[in-house]
Structure 1
Amino acid sequence: MTLFNLAKKNITGNMKNYLLYFFSMVISVVIFYTFNSLLYTPEITDAVPQMDSSMSQTSYMLIAFLIIFIGYSNAFFAKKRKKEVALYSLLGVRKKLIARMLFFENIMIGVITLLSGLILGVLLSRLSILLLLKLLGAPVVVNFSIPLEAITTTTIVFAVITLFTSLQSYLLIYRFKLIELFHADHKGEKVPRASLVSATISIILLASSYWLMFNSMAMLSMPLIIIGTYLLFRSLTVYLLTRAQKNKAKYYKGINIIGTSHLLYRVKGNTLMLTLIALLMTVALPYLQAAFSEFSTTEKEAHQAAPFSYIHLSQDDAFDTHVHRIISGDKAHPITDQLDIPVIQVKGNTSAPFQDNNDLIVNLISEQTFHNMKTVLDLGDIPELSGDQSIAFKYYINEPVAEFASKKLNVQLPQGEHTFTLNSLEKKGITLTSGSELLYLVVDDTMFHSITEQVSPITYKAYKVENEKTTKETSENLMKLGENDTQIRTFYDRYKLFQALSGMKIFVVSSLALVLLAATGSVLYFKQLTEAHSDRNRYEILRKIGVSRKEIRMTISKQTLFVFILPLLIGILNAGMLTFSLVLQYNMSLSQNINSFVLAITAYGVIYIVYYVLTVSSYNRIVNQ
């Protein structure tokens, strides 16, 4: 019982140091419990069929990241406690008892964070469900419940992680000699040498990785980014700091000499940490940006996938009349436009660089039909066609448009092959059916009608109505007709599907980003506080020789800003290059993606500022009070 009380007293005495660790861990428990509770809420899983796979994958990612974070944080605490452990040993406390005390401390911390996280998770689960349903646009009533399966899963996962870190603490006293424990805070690092060659290589590697990104080779660029980012922190930062030392006017102004020398002295110890944080941002920011962008363009994407409010393949007069009766009977959504779209489906081949150009499925539509539907589909104008002239429409094309001009396209007809000349390719999609994007060929009216004498066209009947985002009942009635292999597509159905997918994505990505921010911010915080305890005696000497507390605080603020802002800037640079290379590659809206990227950066920046302020305040309290 005495050992337990001692462990409890140690935790209470170190509460200020443990506070951010508690905060980060509680957030992790809350989010992990939330994901698992959603998996065991029937109303949610029924409303979102893809919930199971999305949440399960996210949970695995979260577990992997938490193991790294907790292990990293535990290493910082272990280093800080080494001198304390050595003192217990010097006073005659047996190693076995010290190991047990450290083990109990870690177990107690784990239990407290787990219980706090579960309580908060249960209390906030209702809010999480409401937020998710709002993002998904799913009008589902969910009764309050506490899934025992979610509590059990969360408890098992965090108990295993806590047990692992507790064993690490238990073995601390056995891993080091007594003299090593006493001098853990005094172990220095050699001042690294500035290498202009290595710094140049880091810039070349990063520039090469960006070149690969903008040339559709993003995966190949990843190794170069990892190595280049590491060398950037390892060499370029050293080079910049040594250059700052040579700027005598600034270097000897105030106590800049102290801040610069301290940063230079700590570069080697911070290199791996800063590299990891920058690389995590490199990956996390594009995902967060993509989630924001996708959610904000849900309606636009739905219009691209289903440009008409309703469209179906004509079958017979009875079926067509029945569909028309359902649509026209919805008085809240009157018909604004109605089209018949005849399409001739044939096979063909071409020398133009289409995928599968020797076995093409070609959909022919007449010039008149194109003009009838171009406003709805936002296709723009085309030049007047005659004879064998044609214009191809296909959105997902990687080759330059100029490669398609004047190429021949042969279509197979019952009476023989017919050859069209491609005037141009328009990188715009004509979407009438579900499935993969089809190639559409606009041809002269006379030519189209002559081909109908050999091949009977199929006809799509398309409708445009007012307020199509609210056509739930009519859409559901029509989709029931489509259960018998009838090609029916509604805008409402596509819109709700895209809203669910983008809502799920932004919920998952934002949750992971929150954990990532809390964890990486805490790692920086712990690292700086570890250094603060090591440097306390040095700052006491500065105060004794006349350096004011204000000057010391200013130096702390500058050197802490350097450590916080470096991974943020490099992470933003890498992520920005990756994001906008994909934007250009897939011809996405530049302005929309810039806005989403700025929003993602702002979210990260605001939270990092909070951690920066907390770190400066805690660092100053340790060395400057």
Structure 2
Amino acid sequence: MTLFNLAKKNIKGNINNYLLYFFSMVVCIIIFYTFNSLLYIPEIQNTDPYLESTMSQTSFILIGFIIVFIGYSNSFFTKKRKKEVGLYSLLGVKKKSIGRMLFFENIIIGAITLLTGLVLGIILSRLSTMLLLKLLGAPIEVSFSIPLKAILTTTLIFTIIIIFTSVQSYFLIYRFRLIELFHAEKKGEKVPKASLLSAGLAFVLLTSSYWLMLNGMAMLAIPLVVIGTYLLFRSLTVYLLKRAQKKKTKYYHGINIIGTSHLLYRVRGNALMLTIIALLITGALPYIHAAFSEYAMTEKDARDSAPFSYIYLSKDEAIDKQINRIIANDKNHPIIEQLDIPIISLKGTTTAPFEDNNDLSINLMAEQTYHQVKKTLDLGDIPPLSGEQAIAFKYYFIHQPIANFKGHDIEIPLPPGKQTLTLKKLEKKSVRLTDGEEPLYLIVDDKMFSEMAEQINPITYKAYEVENEKTTKETSETLQKLSDENMQLLTYYDKYTTIKALTGMKMFIVSSLALVLLAATGSIIYFKQISEAHADRNRYEILRKIGVSKKEVRSTIAKQTLFVFILPLLIGILNGGMLLLSIFVAYDMDLIGNTLYFLYAVAAYGTIYLIYYGLTITSYNRIVNN
């Protein structure tokens, strides 16, 4: 009991050092519990059939982040406590007793953290569920529940982690000799030599990786990014700091000599940490961007997939009248426009460089019909057609410049013989009337269409545009019950809710993982800097004794801490930005809009990093400047 009380007293004495660790761990536990609790909430299960597999995969990723974070945090506390442990041993306390005391400390911290995280997780679970349902586009009506399985799973996982780290703490006294415990903080690093060759290699590797990304070889670029980023922190930073030392006027101004020397002295130890954090940011930013941009573009994506409120293939006049009556009776969503779209569906061959040019699926559309649907389908104007001229529309699997398709013939077998059409132009746009594989749409003049319709009976799609189509749930469900597979019914509401559910789930998961990643990486930098602050306390005491003001010390701390925080963030933003740019170019995406979403992700990330930066400066200053 005495050791247990001593452990509690030690925790109280080191409460300031444990606070950020405690906060970060609580955030991890809340998010982990939230993900597990969602699996047992009926409202969520009914909304997304893929929830269980998605959440399970995410939970494994979370556990990986948490293990890395706890392992690094524990190593920080271990290093910080070495001198204290050595003092206990010097005073005659048995190693077994010291080990038990450290074990109890870790168990107490872990238990408090776990209990706090679970309580807050239970309190916030209803809010998290409502947020997810909102993102999924489902009704925000959810009963409050406390899933016992989620509590047990969270408790089990974190208990195992806590016990493992506690055992590590127990064996601390056995892993080091007494002299090593007392001099742990005095172990320094040799000042590395500046290597212009390595610095140049870092620049070459990163620029080469960007070139590969922009030329569609992102997988080949990844190893270069990893190596280049490490060399950047390992060599280029040394080179830049050495250059700063040579600028005598600035180097000897105030106590810049202290800050620059400190960074140079620690750069070898920081290189791997900064590389890992930069690479994590590199990977995280594209995912955050994707989640935000996809969710923001839900309406546009739904419109691209289902341009009409309702469209189906007409099979029976009686069914057509019944569908028209159902849609017309929905007074909350009055009909804006109703169109009949005749299509001649057939096969053909062509000399044009389409992938399936020997077995081409073709939908023929009359020029007049095209002008009726072009606004809804967002297709734009086309030049007038005559005779055997045709304009092709196809978006996917076009691997050559569209100019290469012009002038090629398309042969269409008809009952009396073959009909040859000449491509006047290819438009890399999609004509979306139904789900499934995209056929080649050919627009021909009205006379040609009429002649071919006498030989092959057209099929007719009936399309409706209504007001407030995002809320046509009841009518869409009624039509789905009435339809069969042959009708190829496609409704805007179904596409909108499906896409919103998928993007909403992605946004929830990515945001949660990003929060854990931010908490982990921010805390790692924080603990690393605070560890160095304790090691450098005596040096700063000497500075104050020779007349350096507290303001100058704080300014130096702010500069050297900014260097450590800003470098991985900037490199991560650069790497992630180039990766996203290569995706924008490869898939012909909206560059301005997607860049804006990327800047939103950077702003969110940077804001939270700024908070950690402020906390680090405050704690560092309190340790060395009081």
Farther-moved stretch of structure 1 (329-338 vs 401-410): 401-410
Farther-moved stretch of structure 1 (431-440 vs 10-19): 431-440
CA offsets, 1:149-178, max 9 Å, x none? 110111111111112222222222222211
Deviation, 1:412, is 3.6
| TM-score for the superposition, normalised by structure 2 | 0.97
Is the Cα contact below 8 Å between 2:65 and 2:520 reproduced in 1? no
Distance 1:30 1:275 in 2: 28
Q: Percent identity?
A: 68
Distance 2:484 2:323 in 1: 14
Q: What amino acid does structure 1 have at the position aligned with 2:308?
A: F
Structure 1 residue runs without a partner (length 5+): none
Is the Cα contact below 8 Å between 1:312 and 1:488 reproduced in 2? yes
Distance 2:501 2:286 in 1: 20
Q: What amino acid does structure 2 have at the position aligned with 1:433?
A: T
| Aligned counterpart, 2:136 | 136
Deviation, 1:503, is 1.2
| Aligned counterpart, 1:471 | 472
| Aligned counterpart, 1:243 | 243
Is the Cα contact below 8 Å between 2:134 and 2:140 reproduced in 1? no
Farther-moved stretch of structure 1 (65-74 vs 341-350): 341-350
| Aligned counterpart, 1:154 | 154
| Aligned counterpart, 1:540 | 541
Q: Relative to structure 1, is the Cα distance of residues 7 and 416 closer, same or farther in structure 2, using a 3 angstrom cutoff?
A: farther
Farther-moved stretch of structure 1 (84-93 vs 483-492): 483-492
CA offsets, 1:379-424, max 9 Å, x none? 0001111222211112223432223222333334344443322222
Q: Give the alignment of 1:350-429 within 5 angstroms.
A: 350-396=350-396, 397-429=398-430
| Aligned counterpart, 1:576 | 577
Deviation, 1:480, is 1.4
- Secondary structure of the residue aligned to 1:454 is coil
CA offsets, 1:347-370, max 9 Å, x none? 233333323333321222121111
Distance 1:151 1:63 in 2: 15
Is the Cα contact below 8 Å between 1:529 and 1:618 reproduced in 2? yes
Deviation, 1:23, is 0.5
Deviation, 1:58, is 1.1
Distance 2:104 2:63 in 1: 23
Is the Cα contact below 8 Å between 1:43 and 1:140 reproduced in 2? no
Distance 2:100 2:356 in 1: 68
| Aligned counterpart, 2:54 | 54
| Aligned counterpart, 1:503 | 504
| Aligned counterpart, 1:431 | 432
Q: What amino acid does structure 2 have at the position aligned with 1:20?
A: L
Q: Give the alignment of 1:20-35 within 5 angstroms.
A: 20-35=20-35
Distance 1:528 1:318 in 2: 76
Deviation, 1:434, is 1.0
| Aligned counterpart, 1:554 | 555
| Aligned counterpart, 1:68 | 68
Distance 2:292 2:444 in 1: 40
CA offsets, 1:192-221, max 9 Å, x none? 111111111111111111111111222221
| RMSD after superposition | 1.4
Is the Cα contact below 8 Å between 2:314 and 2:487 reproduced in 1? no
| Aligned counterpart, 2:12 | 12
CA offsets, 1:16-41, max 9 Å, x none? 00110110100000011111111100
Deviation, 1:444, is 2.4
Farther-moved stretch of structure 1 (278-287 vs 429-438): 429-438
Q: Relative to structure 1, is the Cα distance of residues 624 and 305 closer, same or farther in structure 2, using a 3 angstrom cutoff?
A: same
Distance 2:495 2:214 in 1: 32
Q: What amino acid does structure 1 have at the position aligned with 2:507?
A: I
1:525 and 2:531 matched:
no
Q: Give the alignment of 1:252-267 within 5 angstroms.
A: 252-267=252-267
CA offsets, 1:118-150, max 9 Å, x none? 000000011111111111121152110000011
Q: What amino acid does structure 2 have at the position aligned with 1:217?
A: M
| Aligned counterpart, 2:274 | 274
Farther-moved stretch of structure 1 (71-80 vs 170-179): 170-179
Q: Relative to structure 1, is the Cα distance of residues 184 and 414 closer, same or farther in structure 2, using a 3 angstrom cutoff?
A: farther
Q: Relative to structure 1, is the Cα distance of residues 361 and 537 closer, same or farther in structure 2, using a 3 angstrom cutoff?
A: same
Q: What amino acid does structure 2 have at the position aligned with 1:538?
A: R
Q: What amino acid does structure 2 have at the position aligned with 1:115?
A: L
Distance 2:224 2:326 in 1: 59
Q: Relative to structure 1, is the Cα distance of residues 233 and 495 closer, same or farther in structure 2, using a 3 angstrom cutoff?
A: same
Q: What amino acid does structure 1 have at the position aligned with 2:159?
A: A
Q: Relative to structure 1, is the Cα distance of residues 113 and 411 closer, same or farther in structure 2, using a 3 angstrom cutoff?
A: farther
- Secondary structure of the residue aligned to 1:431 is coil
Is the Cα contact below 8 Å between 2:130 and 2:141 reproduced in 1? no
Distance 1:144 1:566 in 2: 44
Deviation, 1:548, is 1.1
1:292 and 2:297 matched:
no
Distance 2:170 2:418 in 1: 81
Deviation, 1:106, is 1.4
Distance 2:592 2:35 in 1: 33
Distance 2:14 2:412 in 1: 79
CA offsets, 1:91-137, max 9 Å, x none? 12222222222222212211111110000000001111111111112
| Aligned counterpart, 2:80 | 80
Deviation, 1:483, is 4.8
Q: Relative to structure 1, is the Cα distance of residues 398 and 8 closer, same or farther in structure 2, using a 3 angstrom cutoff?
A: farther
Is the Cα contact below 8 Å between 1:47 and 1:140 reproduced in 2? no
Deviation, 1:276, is 0.7
- Secondary structure of the residue aligned to 2:420 is strand
Q: Relative to structure 1, is the Cα distance of residues 24 and 412 closer, same or farther in structure 2, using a 3 angstrom cutoff?
A: farther
- Secondary structure of the residue aligned to 1:141 is coil
| Aligned counterpart, 2:586 | 585
Distance 1:213 1:308 in 2: 37
Structure 2 residue runs without a partner (length 5+): none
Is the Cα contact below 8 Å between 1:341 and 1:459 reproduced in 2? yes
Farther-moved stretch of structure 1 (481-490 vs 278-287): 481-490
Is the Cα contact below 8 Å between 1:482 and 1:488 reproduced in 2? yes
Is the Cα contact below 8 Å between 1:346 and 1:413 reproduced in 2? no
- Secondary structure of the residue aligned to 1:597 is helix
| Aligned counterpart, 1:486 | 487
- Secondary structure of the residue aligned to 1:459 is strand
- Secondary structure of the residue aligned to 2:483 is helix
Deviation, 1:50, is 2.5
Farther-moved stretch of structure 1 (339-348 vs 559-568): 339-348
- Secondary structure of the residue aligned to 1:428 is coil
